[in-house]
Structure 1
């Protein structure tokens, strides 16, 4: 008779709380962690020797655009290969639902980050999308935000103006239905043209539909440059209107003029956190990636094309070289390449490190899985934090790095019984070699699997082993419970 389905023998546990590591066996029974400690007298139907390895909670990607990727590529190799077992979708105001596009209708940027075919946008109700996601049976868990920009696209005839009172009321109704179906909150993205005309009042009034759900408001803030402090305050105000915790998405300072200002923004965030439930996420790179925009050229030292619908042959090349080949200025080349996406080198390494090291910073990849030549963060974010920044640079201890991608994120997004290795919690577990873990994805070769993640369990099922997926798809759609207690409590604020 076996005591457990699986026993991980002899590993070093980093439990996701930030506490010091300790040596222990881990027993898994069904979907749960059944025991942590000395299990030398117990037996498992399957036993894995993990001596010399770190046993950690499965990593939680705080910021993704995996809404469609979960169904298109349900084995999720880009995430499992990094040790990621849960993704947060629907960020930057962009979600696959609720919008049922008419056949042949143009997909406006930035919704085209999720795909440029209207056939993908076929869910008039958010609950229909969550049902379809469950039927797709992805290999990782997903918690899903509702995009405010998607609400605008679904309900407004024009996006270059603020919403009217009836349109706001309709957005509130769609958002409330989505929350009742299991969404975990709302995201906004006023930095993008499709939502730039939305006033703070519009977004705050829509957010009132979050009341009573203990929800999250994640914000791609309106300005990550000169007016960044005001943009942070706007995001906080929108969250406050919905009694929701706030996540400042992919926090960064763009352009040489603003380099070094993370000292100021982090001090401001720390002050806000004394009174409000606010967190932030970031990715460990000096370059960002989004739709191709002229207004990013002047603040970027280099621009790489990631996709172009009319000119796919240029994906992966520098914009300057593309423009020269076309005999155009870079600005004019942007027009010819549309619709398109790009990588922008516009941040300072000192800011990246300072933001990464900030105690309340979670890790989010912000990867764009539908770009033919994506930013390397899609395949490399989590090993890069563990290997490069924690081990090699020494920016923070490994326990801190793991906490930033597990327990901290689970707490902020209200992911109950996940993010911490504890008896009774779901058995999302990642085993990795701390001495070998490294990201192999580069800007020249961005689709490259990381080294050092040895096995990954999702809900107790072995999903990744020795550099390959097992084919098991045990992920769950994590539906946010309506009426739950708000995550905005004093215990999570900085004291």
Structure 2
């Protein structure tokens, strides 16, 4: 007897095949059959008539490394249809832990929303074991993050890696890949990665390529030097043969609008030469990052403590102010989304609203709270966004986190993408006719899983894991806004992870059937 029959839905199976009305049979946590299954006996039947049935969304770009330990129910993600997360992006991560844990936690402040989460691990194996013991509601795969590698081996100074240090970093990386990491990520706008030379990136890329894994890049600049930053990625990819992903491909600042189309042309030319390079994007015109990302690289040298101490120097502040005169965005485009303190009237307001001296406010906040001050930054073009969404080589990644509005991770005014990325995509772009249903589903599922190297996810194909979303296309939509982001979406009827119903009619049932996916070890 079939465990569950999802009957009569419009099936978009994640492969790119045309949608069709069909039934989906699930047994033992796997897809048993897809087709006309009238007459099949099932222990439970879910009537999906009038709804889209597709694979669970594979979020290739997330930062839930620690929030899943704080709240493994993954409320903000699973309720919007995400069934698999790829963590460790943008070079921000939690392993390996070498030396000063406090310094590493400071560098990873973007991830570290709940101080009560203890870092009881030394390497990726230990971390994944802790994550598995937490029993998350979603499946999780992990990249190796560049910051812990470089900080642990070289430190936070502005210098090139020595040959011996490169060998050690590559050895640690290879150990993590052997332990099941899906690949490597870098974040070249975050200290100390701002100091990484191209030779270092190429050495790490060769290590990743030898294992056939993914190298994901938060590039050096998304503003005035976007095209130079993309060219750097392509040089390393071509020299090493590494499968490469450019993270959240956008252009910041009105004066840079239109550069995304030229970046896509560079990517197309590289793909024509046989380079395996692609990109991901999320459907919003504002991003989210630590406010400290705006500081020039020299001001971040030495780590978070040194940076905060440096900002007490009036001469340093004057130098930064001078460099900030030419920022692509103005202070009215930048909203303070989270600070680790009770400061009424700060979170949710733009820097320009907080004071006439926006630069002074920003410097004061970073000096006091370091990398833990979060911002939401606008200044992006809808035409650029549509160009990336429509490109055949791009997939969807939220760049968000699994948050719990009732717990420590629900503080502040986070970016709404953590609650509404995928519903927003289907409401704003599929229902309106901007994007076709089947291709959009593929970008969220089968194509995303392929980029991450996850062979058992992303397609409604017999034998594969039964991660499934059932949603009503005429109702699905995000309710999370920039001003009120902690709101769950509409129109998601059911979400299944490994054959278990986790969300039904908008209610989280408390199930936590997710698996920790280790590359080379079954997924």
Q: Please, what TM-score do these two structures have when normalized by structure 1? A: 0.92
Where does 1:40-119 land on structure 2 (aligned, <5 Å)?
40-99=38-97, 102=100, 104-105=102-103, 107-109=105-107, 111-115=108-112, 117=115
Tell me the equivalent position of 1:299.
328
- Cα distance in structure 2, aligned partners of 1:211 and 1:267: 24
Displacement of 1:101 in angstroms is 5.9
Displacement of 1:240 in angstroms is 4.8
* Match for residue 331 of structure 1 among 337, 353, 359: 359
- Cα distance in structure 2, aligned partners of 1:201 and 1:278: 19
Alignment check: 8 A CA contact 1:103 1:119 kept: no
Does residue 412 of the first structure (1) align with residue 451 of the second (2)? yes
- Cα distance in structure 1, aligned partners of 2:334 and 2:180: 38
Displacement of 1:208 in angstroms is 2.5
- Cα distance in structure 1, aligned partners of 2:218 and 2:35: 42
- Cα distance in structure 2, aligned partners of 1:168 and 1:4: 53
- String of CA shifts for 1:189-241, please: whole Å, max 9, x gaps: 11223211110101211233224321000000111123222212322343455
* Match for residue 219 of structure 2 among 215, 221, 225: 221
- String of CA shifts for 1:304-356, please: whole Å, max 9, x gaps: 101123564311122112225xxxx1111112112211011121111111111
Tell me the equivalent position of 1:268.
266
Alignment check: 8 A CA contact 1:169 1:206 kept: no
Tell me the equivalent position of 2:487.
448
- Cα distance in structure 2, aligned partners of 1:105 and 1:223: 25
Tell me the equivalent position of 1:491.
none
- Mean Cα displacement is larger for which, 238-247 or 53-62? 238-247
Does residue 353 of the first structure (1) align with residue 393 of the second (2)? no
Does residue 316 of the first structure (1) align with residue 355 of the second (2)? no
Tell me the equivalent position of 1:256.
254
- Cα distance in structure 1, aligned partners of 2:122 and 2:337: 30
* Match for residue 412 of structure 2 among 361, 372, 375: 372
Judging changes above 3 Å, is the alpha-carbon distance between structure 1 residues 312 and 415 closer, same or farther for their aligned structure 2 residues? farther
Tell me the equivalent position of 1:493.
none
- Cα distance in structure 1, aligned partners of 2:144 and 2:252: 26
Displacement of 1:399 in angstroms is 0.9
- Cα distance in structure 2, aligned partners of 1:289 and 1:142: 22
Alignment check: 8 A CA contact 1:172 1:207 kept: no
Does residue 286 of the first structure (1) align with residue 325 of the second (2)? no
- Mean Cα displacement is larger for which, 247-256 or 359-368? 359-368
- Cα distance in structure 1, aligned partners of 2:284 and 2:379: 10
Alignment check: 8 A CA contact 2:83 2:467 kept: yes
Judging changes above 3 Å, is the alpha-carbon distance between structure 1 residues 476 and 403 closer, same or farther for their aligned structure 2 residues? same
- Cα distance in structure 2, aligned partners of 1:319 and 1:469: 36
SS in 1 for 2:128: helix
- Cα distance in structure 2, aligned partners of 1:454 and 1:482: 32
Alignment check: 8 A CA contact 2:223 2:328 kept: no
Alignment check: 8 A CA contact 2:468 2:496 kept: yes
Displacement of 1:121 in angstroms is 4.0
- Cα distance in structure 2, aligned partners of 1:402 and 1:483: 24
SS in 2 for 1:135: helix
Alignment check: 8 A CA contact 2:156 2:191 kept: no
- Mean Cα displacement is larger for which, 81-90 or 97-106? 97-106
Tell me the equivalent position of 1:490.
none
- Cα distance in structure 2, aligned partners of 1:158 and 1:422: 47
- Cα distance in structure 1, aligned partners of 2:395 and 2:519: 20
Judging changes above 3 Å, is the alpha-carbon distance between structure 1 residues 217 and 118 closer, same or farther for their aligned structure 2 residues? farther
Alignment check: 8 A CA contact 1:104 1:118 kept: no
Unaligned runs of 5+ in 2: 296-323, 404-408
SS in 2 for 1:92: helix
* Match for residue 422 of structure 2 among 352, 369, 382: 382
Aligned alpha-carbon RMSD (Å): 2.0
Alignment check: 8 A CA contact 1:75 1:138 kept: yes
- Cα distance in structure 2, aligned partners of 1:133 and 1:237: 35
Displacement of 1:423 in angstroms is 0.9
SS in 2 for 1:171: helix
Does residue 457 of the first structure (1) align with residue 496 of the second (2)? yes
Normalized per residue, the structure richer in helix is 2
- String of CA shifts for 1:418-460, please: whole Å, max 9, x gaps: 1111111110000000110001110110111010111011011
Does residue 165 of the first structure (1) align with residue 198 of the second (2)? no
- String of CA shifts for 1:352-411, please: whole Å, max 9, x gaps: 11111111111111114446211111111101111111112x221111111110011111
- Cα distance in structure 2, aligned partners of 1:231 and 1:277: 17
Displacement of 1:139 in angstroms is 0.6
Alignment check: 8 A CA contact 1:108 1:194 kept: no
- Mean Cα displacement is larger for which, 215-224 or 168-177? 168-177
* Match for residue 26 of structure 2 among 18, 24, 28: 28
- Cα distance in structure 1, aligned partners of 2:239 and 2:270: 15
- Mean Cα displacement is larger for which, 370-379 or 420-429? 370-379
* Match for residue 18 of structure 1 among 16, 21, 24: 16
Where does 1:152-231 land on structure 2 (aligned, <5 Å)?
152-231=150-229
Unaligned runs of 5+ in 1: 485-495
Alignment check: 8 A CA contact 1:57 1:406 kept: yes
